[in-house]
Chains A and B, each alone.
Chain A
């Protein structure tokens, strides 16, 4: 564990990313105390520029506090990102493990099914799903999970294919362990590193997808989110730039930090690769 930390910290970008990410999470957690009351309530004069009337980031066309919107929006964005990633991981690991471990016909069926999802443009499919199931937080999470599991399935399948023929897995077969015990006890723990790295990047893309959906007006109408903030500021961007810019920066920083953390994790979990990249053998 100590070695893991040291390797992670060797990548400076990853440490910066982790700090930003922790700040975003802290903001989300502390939102009800930082900005008590509903972010939908009018807090001041409409179109107040940043700094005026005690609003650091200004107000929108209905006089709502943009800073409060961002803080409360962080809760929704992070929640959607995390939950949809977990759902996508469950689907992806389940299917990928089945395909990779069983091989043969099962592999063919699962992979054709996966490819079917990959051939549909994911954003269009997400819009379609949300539109059909009416926009609620549940349907948004479901839609994002449905469009983002195929890469997980492919990575897990590839790892399983190579690990399945390793001798320690064969040894477990010879010991007579059950298939489930082999999959979860022997193969999966050794396939975790790429899955962990991939999932940090998936959280980032889920946040982007959710923002894009909200921007198009397909967000949950009862929940404040970053995409909604940008969407509502779009039509008045020339007179109230702050309405779109600050939520945009929030999305940018969060996604960037997740990508940096993902890279740091990848370095820390494959220390040999990371060290070679620095040119020290």
Chain B
């Protein structure tokens, strides 16, 4: 095999005042033709900076301080901007994370691909090549798609268009920066399969950046693990995934949700929450033209028993968040009954709801958006109880206990949210919800915005607290491995309806509905079970 890309001792400086002197430090890696190298790491580990350096796309504030990048025998760092530009697109191409923003919204897709061709002097072939390229990324009816504007395509279709554009000039090297992170699992599985297939057909070298070990297991030939700007471990996929050597890799892999189901005694049926015939529809338009009606939630009946955790899983747009928000009245459904200990909450007024606010609480998805940036953590935790008539001193006392429970320092009380990391903020959000001493906790994707090692900590904390306080929990997630780990029963939602509901082991072991089956088949790296690793210091 021919050596395509070599990076030797690459260091990129960070501007002064950053948390470390280098974004990337003494990074060495290589890529052969016909090989997929996965660069894995948590956010801020320098994996995207490495990729952007190869492409010559570093922002001005980040200078390369040392190292060599050799691509097809040429030193890329020594090339002029013009020489680099002629190689970009033609010999090496890049696919970005966010398909929603990487395409020009005002240009037809076909024209955008044609533009990529004509920039490198191959405009004449565009007519014939565009449909061919769109067909190569498995888009149905390429001629029709070429005439569409990006807003008419789904996220997965846009990412395919991006890949088609990157492949237009048959580059020898493709850099893919988290290309499937913004996509649903089933779409992700299709895109990964397609990339693998095209890469093998054309013998391309692919540098694939991801944070997800499932994706690594699915696609990688070789793996490089990055931590704080350094490569800590490099090797074949089998070696790194099944017998990791470096403590950081071992920690990361043992933090991957193992997906093994819980073995717990079934809860005695003592219904806390029952949803019956809840329907929520959204309407668009009006005045002129036809109204578009979207049924966000319908046919979603379930019962939640005391002490049990029910997982609500589904892809984006399946209505799982809307359903959860109906329970706490952030969304007002137009039909159905929401029975909490037998009392219907739906017809209650804002005032009538107040006594239930204490008993039903929620933890939100985005740790950066769910805390008021202008309010101290202590105030955020105490304001709920104070609103409900608890004395100020008692509320503060309770807040201190809760901070201890979620493993934060008491000094956190006097600090503002921006001083905390994502995982810490999520624990503050949890403390805020628990301060009300609720019976029912609704957790809306509480770990999906977190890095894998932090995710594991928060999940452990949730499990521990649920056990200790005897909480009943409605847990919303799109990640089936997480759901399997924490839920007693699982409800699978598709297009607003619950299509399958049953004990976790049953749903995962013997799925009845075809949609559940396709979801399970799409879990990245489903053929790989993270090895049991002894705790390393």
Contacts and interface: CB of A to CB of B under 8 A. Distances in A.
A171 interface: yes
B387 A190 contact: no
A168 interface: yes
Given A175-B436, A189-B374, A170 B364 contact: yes
B61 interface: yes
A189 B366 CA distance: 20
Contact of A171 (B59, B61, B362): B362
A121 B384 CA distance: 47
A176 B60 contact: no
Per DSSP, chain A at the interface is: helix
Contacts of A280: 61
B383 A175 contact: yes
Contacts of B374: 189-190
A262 B380 CA distance: 32
Given A167-B364, A167-B366, A175 B387 contact: yes
Nearest to A166: B369
B354 A176 contact: yes
Contacts of A167: 364-366, 369-370
A201 B17 CA distance: 34
B383 A168 contact: no
Find the residue from B61, B330, B429 having the highest chain A CB count within 10 A: B330
Contacts of B358: 176
A189 B383 CA distance: 16
A186 B357 contact: no
Contacts of B330: 170, 173-174
A168 B370 contact: yes
A281 interface: yes
Interface string B344-363: 00000010011001101110
B353 A176 contact: yes
Place the interface of chain A in its size category.
20 to 34
Contacts of A172: 372, 383
Nearest to B438: A174
B366 to A, nearest CB: 6
A44 to B, nearest CB: 56
Contacts of B59: 281
B363 to A, nearest CB: 9
Nearest to B362: A174
B366 A281 contact: no
A16 interface: no
A161 to B, nearest CB: 15
A181 B328 contact: no
B61 A281 contact: yes
B388 interface: yes
B432 interface: yes
A10 interface: no
A12 interface: no
A159 to B, nearest CB: 14
Contacts of A272: none
Given A167-B366, A170-B364, A190 B61 contact: no
A168 B387 CA distance: 16
B353 A171 contact: no
A171 B387 contact: no
Interface string B197-241: 000000000000000000000000000000000000000000000
Contacts of A178: 387
A177 interface: yes
B490 interface: no
A181 B61 contact: no
B304 interface: no
Given A167-B365, A174-B361, A186 B61 contact: no
Contacts of B325: 170
B162 interface: no
B351 to A, nearest CB: 10
A173 B364 CA distance: 12
Nearest to B325: A170
Contacts of B61: 280-281
A122 to B, nearest CB: 29
B371 interface: yes
B95 to A, nearest CB: 23
B62 to A, nearest CB: 8
B373 interface: yes
B157 to A, nearest CB: 27
Interface in A146-204: 166-168, 170-179, 181, 185-186, 189-190
Contacts of B364: 167, 170-171
A168 B388 contact: no
A185 B384 CA distance: 13
Nearest to B388: A176
Nearest to B387: A177
A182 B8 CA distance: 55
B354 A168 contact: no
18 contacts: A167-B365, A168-B372, A170-B325, A170-B330, A170-B362, A172-B372, A173-B329, A173-B330, A174-B357, A174-B362, A175-B384, A176-B358, A176-B387, A186-B375, A189-B374, A190-B372, A190-B374, A281-B61
Interface of A: 166-168, 170-179, 181, 185-186, 189-190, 279-281
Q: Please list the 5 inter-chain residue pairs (A to B) with the smallest Cβ-Cβ separation, ordered nearest first.
A: A176-B357, A167-B370, A175-B384, A167-B364, A167-B369
Given A171-B370, A176-B358, A190-B374, 6 more contacts: A167-B369, A173-B328, A173-B330, A175-B357, A175-B387, A176-B357
